[in-house]
Chain A
């Protein structure tokens, strides 16, 4: 059999409790019902205590003034807006910086005579075989630095 979780007299008991009529000034029939009904007995037991606790808690609260809460909300909204507006600037600067480094490298490579001569005698496969650890380290840095920058930006 399914357990009963509400009672048709629950609201009446609750009203009697909240109006301080429970138990002595409540309808005797309602009192009698609550003696045998677990749901109404529970409502009678907890509702009054919760209502008293509510009064105590509300009375003991020391709240900031509404003007101060409004002002702090404005300050926070401005700070967040400034922060989010500043985020694209940082990303733009990162991209611009990377592009500038790339462009400078390309110009240097295209115009510098000795660099081109040095490059002509250079074998990538031979260098990689000879300096495997160094090459792996450099590759890791090339991958990890942008990843770290992205993570730091995302956290902001």
Chain B
């Protein structure tokens, strides 16, 4: 049955919302300092957009704080965080399907052509990654940038562990092929 709520009730609800956080401020700040940079890099790579990564980072940590989850280890907390980030990146992508893929390493697309050899490799890599499906980018990033195990990647991405090996193999194959093509093209250009 509905009950008329007073301002005291509303204020109490607001205070309770803070109490619902899964950790206190000091623990959160230490956890954030350990993980924010990695999560941002992951979001930037999967979404393909720095601005989106900036926006989603705050929301990722907020949802983590509000999640009614009982984490038994740092690894478990970290997996939860990346799972939230993965879902948010997927939702953001659905909202902005028409936006072009942007460079995420901090360079403007126009300047790629003027890069030195090292930068050129980086540009080729960015281009090749951008041609992968977001799920492939996420899997490869988790495996080789974050050093996540197959079980962890499956958990984060909501996939069956049994199918992950094959999916990772295909994603890696595709990226290697794309990189091989770009290397050949660069060699021909030189």
A and B assemble together:
yes
Interface residues of A (CB under 8 A from B): 5-6, 14, 38-39, 41-43, 45-47, 49-54, 56-58, 60-64, 66-67, 69-70, 72-74, 76-78, 80-82, 84-86, 88-89, 91-92, 95
Chain B interface size, as a band, is: 35 or more
Residue of A nearest to B126 (CB): A53
Residues of B within 8 A of A60 (CB): 105-106
A55 to chain B, nearest CB (A): 9
B5 to chain A, nearest CB (A): 5
Query: B residues within 8 A CB of A5?
Result: 165-166, 168-169
Q: Report the bound CA distance from A46 to B171 in whole Å.
A: 10
Contact A57 B41 (CB under 8 A): yes
Expressed in whole angstroms, the Cα–Cα distance for A81 and B169 within the complex equals: 45
CB distance from A83 to the nearest CB of B (A): 10
Whether a CB of chain A sits under 8 angstroms from the CB of B10 is yes
Residues on A with C-beta less than 8 A from B36 are: 63, 66, 69
B58 near A69 with CB under 8 A, answer yes
Known: A69-B32, A81-B17, A82-B13. Is A57-B172 also a contact (CB below 8 A)?
no
A57, B62: Cβ atoms under 8 Å? no
User: Would you list which residues of chain B between 132 and 154 have a CB under 8 Å from chain A?
Assistant: 140-141, 144-146
- Selected contact of A77 from candidates B28, B37, B66, B125, CB within 8 Å: B66
In the assembled complex, B44 has its CB within 8 A of some CB on chain A? yes
The answer to whether A57 and B45 touch (CB under 8 A), given A42-B172, A52-B122, A82-B10, is yes
With contact pairs A42-B176, A58-B41, A88-B2 given, residues A6 and B165 touching in the complex (Cβ less than 8 Å): yes
Which residues of A lie under 8 Å from residue B165 when comparing CB positions?
A: 5-6
Give the distance in Å from the alpha carbon of A93 to the alpha carbon of B150 in the complex: 53
**In the complex, A14 Cα to B144 Cα: how many Å?**
8
Contact A76 B144 (CB under 8 A): no
B10 touches A54 (CB 8 A): no
Smallest CB separation, B171 vs chain A (Å): 9
Picked from B32, B66, B176, the residue with its CB within 8 Å of the CB of A66 is B32
B104 is an interface residue with CB less than 8 A from chain A: yes
| B121 and A57 within 8 A (CB) | no
Contacts A58-B41, A77-B20; is A42 near B173 (CB within 8 Å)? yes
Partner of A81, one of B14, B37, B65: B14
- Contact indicator A45/B180 (Cβ below 8 Å): yes
**Per a CB cutoff under 8 Å, which of A6, A47, A82, A89 touches B144?**
A47
